[in-house]
Chain A
Amino acid sequence: MKYADMVHRCFRCGYCKFTSDYTDFNCPAYRKFRFETYSPGGRMWLIRGWLNGDIKNSERFQEILFSCATCANCVEHCVFTFSDDLVNIFIAAREELVADGLIPPPVRDYLKNIHVNGNPYKAPAAERGKWAEGTSMEAYAGQEYLFYVGCVGSYDERAVKIARAVGTLLVKAGLSIGILGEKETCDGNEVRALGEAGLFEQLAAQNIQAFRDLGVKKVITLDPHAFNAFKNDYPGLGGEFEVYHYTQVLAPLIQGGKVPLKECSLKVTYHDPCYLGRHNTEYQAPRSILKAIPGLELAEMERNGENAFCCGGGGGNFFTDILGGGEESPARLRVREALDTGAEIIAVACPQCAKMLEDAVKSEEMDDRLKVMDIAEIVNGCVI
Chain B
Amino acid sequence: MYTLKFDENVCRTCPTGDCLVKCQYLHLDKETAVAEMVKIGQGADSFVLNDCVTCYACEEYCRRGNHPFYLITERRQEKGILTAPRAITRQWINIGEPQGKYRLGEVKERVLSFGFMPEFLGWIKGRLFEDVMPSYIFGQEFFCNVVYIHFADTAVIKERLPQVVDNFRKLGVKEVIFLHDECYGAFTQLAPAFGIDVPFQSIHYYEYLYHRLQELKDLIRPLNIRVAYQRPCSSRLSSDQHHFFADIMDLIGVDLVAREYQDENALCCGGILSMNYGYDLAHDVQKRNIDDMTAHGAQFCVFNCPACQSTLGPLVAKQGIKPIHMIHLCRKAIGEM
Are chains A and B touching directly in their complex (CB below 8 angstroms)?
no
Residue positions of B touching A, CB distance < 8 A: none
